[in-house]
């Protein structure tokens, strides 16, 4: 075990020991700061591919049976040491009017699953019946992840026709989104009968948070390429070509994401603390580094890469965020500032302190760029830090004085929450769509239907109740008389997780779900954020990433933020 692994034997200890070096939670967990986050070298998509390259994972297409329109099925197989995993996808076509980005839909053009083990004919027949049902399906523990999605309405047929005609895509017609298929969900962790995360045995290669989901997503992205090329051959015959050169990597997997991410983040403070904590530890590591020529050159390459990538994605801003043209401008400013501080003793710290005085998009872009230089954490250590135990045991003999002290220490930011504005919304699960929703509190009776994600309000209400109680009152007595405070007490006694609480009120009239969603999507490794309302957005995953045939020991992270390919010809 490395010295760093010994030092970072737990995330809580690492954050406590280095608190003075880290950004304070009030900054990191502020809504606008979360809403400016970008992917880093520790995002799940990137750690997956680095591990796959380092450990020699072998993936291949073993079966593709489709008609000329791309209806049929495909099987992709990944071998990891002595483990084998099959990604199975069933494909069809839908009328454009049936395409939706919602979690719930009557049908999808692609339904798939990641399976532990090789799929035989009998299991393939079972999956053929079950996977198109999605939420209505009942699966078994061989299935690790369930997914679905649709073809891009704008790009899919266009790409088929270009390849069928023997030509590569026209760069200005496909660059703004950069995907072929768009997914909407990667279910796992025991839903619908699948294997739960705790059901993965020790030593299982996917026994790390989100690794199974992102292996599944990488295969889903591969399917898009193979399906388009198959349809092009069927349409164009001998004239058809495959994606050539950089086009063979440029397209990622699209994704549409909504309010479900918000409820997850508010309900899992230890997970959120781990995600943010790893980023902050890495940032602190880099700020302390001296500016060697090698490190400065590497950072300049990443800045240049950002400029090249974002400058080709369009000009318009994407409220509430900056658009690609504005991000390009910020990246150029960052590059100019790096030149100015390069000779200072701690140039990376100087660059960060400069960024702190600018807008949050500039600041968080600098954070992501700096983390590319981190030498203090490796992927194994990060995997360990991201494993969290979410069990909370409440000692009924804990006193009210202890609760008050914890509230003062950790939640001094709770204020002005018990007002009509602060209590404008409530969160429920829709009966007819099984999706998270926020509704005006006065619009309907939500008794027994409310989703308890409004932790700021609940903690504030607990604080008010404690005002009139003797300090030696036991928590057991408190909850017997005020059972509605159970969630707040559990949250308070769940441990010190400085980055576990978004500094926001999800029930406030002005609450913007997009900000917390973007932070989570950045941790996943997604980019190209395109909001469609206050509640949901589209993003791109694995854009520029190696294909399954490209992955090898020489694979690096230089696929991130790919340049737009030039227009090709046969």
Per-residue pLDDT tens for 177-224? Answer: 799 999 999 999 999 999 999 999 999 999 999 999 999 999 999 999
Let me know if residue 296 belongs to a domain. Answer: yes
In the chain, how long is the greatest CA-to-CA distance? Answer: 85
Given 363, 388, 413, the domain boundary residue is 388
Question: What range does the domain containing 320 cover?
Answer: 3-43+264-388
Let me know if residue 477 belongs to a domain. Answer: no
Q: Number of folded domains in the chain?
A: 2
Q: What's the average model confidence in pLDDT over 522-539?
A: 95
Asked if 179 and 220 count as a contact pair (C-beta separation under 8 A), the reply is no
**Token pair of 415, please?**
């204020």
In the structure, what pLDDT confidence band is assigned to residue 429 with cuts at 50, 70 and 90? confident
Asked if 167 and 239 count as a contact pair (C-beta separation under 8 A), the reply is no
Q: What's the average model confidence in pLDDT over 395-417?
A: 89
Asked whether the predicted pLDDT for residue 277 surpasses 50, the reply is yes
Bridge partner residues of 60 (DSSP): 77
- Strands 179-187 and 252-257, by their bridges, are parallel
Residues 314 and 242 in one domain: no
CA terminus-to-terminus distance, the chain? 52
- Residue 246 vs residues 7, 361, 531, 565: alpha-carbon distances, Å: 42, 29, 27, 6
Length of the chain: 570
| Sign of CA pseudo-dihedral 294, 300, 303, 309 | negative
Let me know if residue 414 belongs to a domain. Answer: no
Residues 346 and 249 in one domain: no
Cα(219)–Cα(224) distance, rounded to whole angstroms? 9
- What pLDDT sits at residue 209? 92
Torsion angle in degrees (nearest 10) through CA of 499, 504, 506, 509:
-170
Q: Which residues contact 443 (CB under 8 A, 6 or more apart)?
A: none
Residue with tokens 């619908």: 192
Q: Which residues contact 525 (CB under 8 A, 6 or more apart)?
A: 39, 43, 44, 45, 46, 214, 541, 542
**Of the candidates 148, 171, 149, 163, the residue with the CA atom closest to the CA atom of residue 228:** 163
Residues 253 and 380 in one domain: no
Cα(211)–Cα(80) distance, rounded to whole angstroms? 13
Please report the beta strands in 17-142, taking only residues with DSSP state E, as ranges in sequence order: 58-66, 72-80, 83-91, 110-116
Higher pLDDT, 212 or 460: 212
Residues 242 and 350 in one domain: no
Q: What's the average model confidence in pLDDT over 485-501?
A: 94
Cα(138)–Cα(130) distance, rounded to whole angstroms? 7
Q: Which residues contact 141 (CB under 8 A, 6 or more apart)?
A: 116, 193, 194, 195, 199
Average predicted confidence (pLDDT) for the chain: 92
Residues 161 and 249 in one domain: yes
- What pLDDT sits at residue 418? 58
Q: What's the average model confidence in pLDDT over 338-357?
A: 98
Task: Provide the whole-model pTM.
Answer: 0.94
Given 326, 356, 388, the domain boundary residue is 388
**Of the candidates 369, 386, 372, the residue with the CA atom closest to the CA atom of residue 14:** 386
For 89-116, the pLDDT digits (tens) are 999 999 877 777 666 778 999 999 999 9
Cα(397)–Cα(232) distance, rounded to whole angstroms? 69
Residues 82 and 121 in one domain: yes
Neighbours of 314 (CB within 10 A): 17
Residues 353 and 320 in one domain: yes
Q: Residue 113: which H helix or E strand, with range?
A: strand 110-116
Let me know if residue 470 belongs to a domain. Answer: no
Q: What's the average model confidence in pLDDT over 426-451?
A: 79
Let me know if residue 81 belongs to a domain. Answer: yes
- What pLDDT sits at residue 437? 85
Q: What's the average model confidence in pLDDT over 282-299?
A: 98
Residues 135 and 249 in one domain: yes
Cα(130)–Cα(136) distance, rounded to whole angstroms? 8
Q: What's the average model confidence in pLDDT over 292-297?
A: 98
DSSP 137-162: ----TTEEEEEEEEE-TTTHHHHHHH
Asked whether the predicted pLDDT for residue 445 surpasses 70, the reply is yes
Let me know if residue 72 belongs to a domain. Answer: yes
Let me know if residue 428 belongs to a domain. Answer: no
Residues 206 and 275 in one domain: no
Asked if 499 and 28 count as a contact pair (C-beta separation under 8 A), the reply is yes
Three-state DSSP at 393 gives coil
Given 388, 407, 434, the domain boundary residue is 388
Instruction: Considering only CA atoms, give the Rg of the chain.
Output: 24
Neighbours of 83 (CB within 10 A): 14
Asked if 69 and 93 count as a contact pair (C-beta separation under 8 A), the reply is yes
- What pLDDT sits at residue 193? 95
Residues 112 and 228 in one domain: yes
Residues 168 and 291 in one domain: no
Residues 323 and 300 in one domain: yes
Let me know if residue 561 belongs to a domain. Answer: no
């Amino acid at each position: 075990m490395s010295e760093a692994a010994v030092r970072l034997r737990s995330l809580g200890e690492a954050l406590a020991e280095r608190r003075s070096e880290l950004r304070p939670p009030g900054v990191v967990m502020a809504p606008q700061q979360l809403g400016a986050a970008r992917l880093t070298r520790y995002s799940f998509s990137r750690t997956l591919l680095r591990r796959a390259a380092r450990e020699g994972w072998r993936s291949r297409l073993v079966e593709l049976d489709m008609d000329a329109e791309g209806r049929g099925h495909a099987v992709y197989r990944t071998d990891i040491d002595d483990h084998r995993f099959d990604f199975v996808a069933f494909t069809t076509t839908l009328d454009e009017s049936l395409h939706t980005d919602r979690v719930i839909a009557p049908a999808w053009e692609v339904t798939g699953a990641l399976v532990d083990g090789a799929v035989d004919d009998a299991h393939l027949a079972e999956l053929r019946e079950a996977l198109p049902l999605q939420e209505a399906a009942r699966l078994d523990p061989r299935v690790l992840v369930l997914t679905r999605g649709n073809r891009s309405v704008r790009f899919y047929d266009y790409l088929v026709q270009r390849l069928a005609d023997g030509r590569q895509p026209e760069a200005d017609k496909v660059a703004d989104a950069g995907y072929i298929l768009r997914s909407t969900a990667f279910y796992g962790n025991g839903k619908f009968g699948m294997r739960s995360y705790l059901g993965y045995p020790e030593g299982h290669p996917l026994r790390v948070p989100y690794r199974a989901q992102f292996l599944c997503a990488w295969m889903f992205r591969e399917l898009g390429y193979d399906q388009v090329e198959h349809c092009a051959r069927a349409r164009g015959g001998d004239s058809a070509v495959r994606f050539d050169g950089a086009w063979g990597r440029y397209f990622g997997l699209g994704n549409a994401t909504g309010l479900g991410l918000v409820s997850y983040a508010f309900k899992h403070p230890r997970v959120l603390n781990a995600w943010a904590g790893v980023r902050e530890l890495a940032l602190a590591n880099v700020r302390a580094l001296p500016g060697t020529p090698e490190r400065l050159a590497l950072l300049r390459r990443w800045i240049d890469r950002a400029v090249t990538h974002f400058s080709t994605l369009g000009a318009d801003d994407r409220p509430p965020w900056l658009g690609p043209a504005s991000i390009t401008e910020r990246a150029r400013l960052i590059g100019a500032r790096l030149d100015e501080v390069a000779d200072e003793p701690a140039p990376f710290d100087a660059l960060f302190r400069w960024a702190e005085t600018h807008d949050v998009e500039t600041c968080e872009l600098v954070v992501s760029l700096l983390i590319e230089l981190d030498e203090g954490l490796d992927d194994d250590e990060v995997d360990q830090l991201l494993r969290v135990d979410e069990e909370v045991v409440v000692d009924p003999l804990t006193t009210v004085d202890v609760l008050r002290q914890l509230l003062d220490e950790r939640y001094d930011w709770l204020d002005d929450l018990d007002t009509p504005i602060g209590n404008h919304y409530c969160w429920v699960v829709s009966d007819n769509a099984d999706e998270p929703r926020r509704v005006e509190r006065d619009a309907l009776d939500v008794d027994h239907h409310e989703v308890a994600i409004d932790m700021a309000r609940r903690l504030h209400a607990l604080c008010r109740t404690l005002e009139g109680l003797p300090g030696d009152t036991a928590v057991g007595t408190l909850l017997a008389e005020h059972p509605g405070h159970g969630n707040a007490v559990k949250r308070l006694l769940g441990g010190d997780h400085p980055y576990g609480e978004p500094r926001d009120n999800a029930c406030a009239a002005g609450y913007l779900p997009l900000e917390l969603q973007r932070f989570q999507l950045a941790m996943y490794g997604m980019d190209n954020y395109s909001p469609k309302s206050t509640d949901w957005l589209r993003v791109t995953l694995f854009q520029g990433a190696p294909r399954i045939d490209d992955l090898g020991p020489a694979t690096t992270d230089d696929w991130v933020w790919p340049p737009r390919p030039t227009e090709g010809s046969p």
